[in-house]
Amino acid sequence: MNYIFYLLIVISIVVSAINGKLEDVVNSILSGAELSVKVAFSLIGIMAFWLGIMRIAERSGVVDFITKLIKPIAKWLFNEVPEDNKAIGDIAMSFSANALGLTNAATPIGLEAMKELQEINKDKNSASNAMCMFLAMNTAGFQIIPATVIAVLVGIGYKNPTEIILPTLIVTGIAFISAIILAKLFQKIWRVQ
């Protein structure tokens, strides 16, 4: 993939030099670099804010409360996982972080949940139904507040970055429900022995 990007950059520079537009390409590179730094700093700010909110929520017991709300649903979706297994809590926390748009914060929690699911997996060479369900749901990426996207929009100077919330909620909700339905359907088609 790196070779493809390198090739595209070289071709664009050569073509712009042939057409006398090399100055425009250099100006675009410099303005793009400046914009990427602005966006990166706005992302740092919003991620620090939301990670701080998550830490406060965790220490104040809000995350545990959300986990308790999500646990019955998680137990139904992941019925092969023992009720007292740590994976159920990790799965609930991962979805809470994803729902708040904190995909970076959800990743380590999700990896921990996958480790827990692998420990109870009977066939260590194949993903269990619970692992497939968790992966499908994480890939769908349900979000109530797309914090990262809002941060990018703020970083590029968009006038109303919060207008992305409703469309994101609709699209990620449909994807999330579709992922659950398809995973359950495939579990019935390909039964694990």
Residue (of 23, 25, 24, 100) closest to 58 by Cα position: 100
pLDDT at 172 over 80: yes
Share of the chain above pLDDT 90, in %: 16
More reliable by pLDDT, 89 or 168? 168
Q: Is 176 exposed, middle or buried (0-12, 13-18, 19+ CB in 10 A)?
A: buried
- Tokens coding 45: 């700010």
Kindly give, in sequence order, each residue whose CB lies less than 8 Å from that of residue 34, ignoring residues fewer than 6 positions away: none
Share of the chain above pLDDT 70, in %: 96
Give the C-alpha separation, 170 to 30, whole Å. Answer: 37
Residue 122 CA from chain centroid, whole number: 28
pLDDT per position as a tens digit, 72-119: 888 788 888 887 788 887 888 888 778 877 777 778 888 888 999 999
Residue 156, domain extent: 2-189
Counts for the chain of helices (H) and strands (E), in that order: 8, 0
Domain count within the chain? 1
Q: Which long-range contacts (CB under 8 A, 24 or more apart) does 15-19 make?
A: none
pTM above 0.85, yes or no: no
| Mean pLDDT, residues 131-158 | 84
- Tokens coding 70: 């999500």
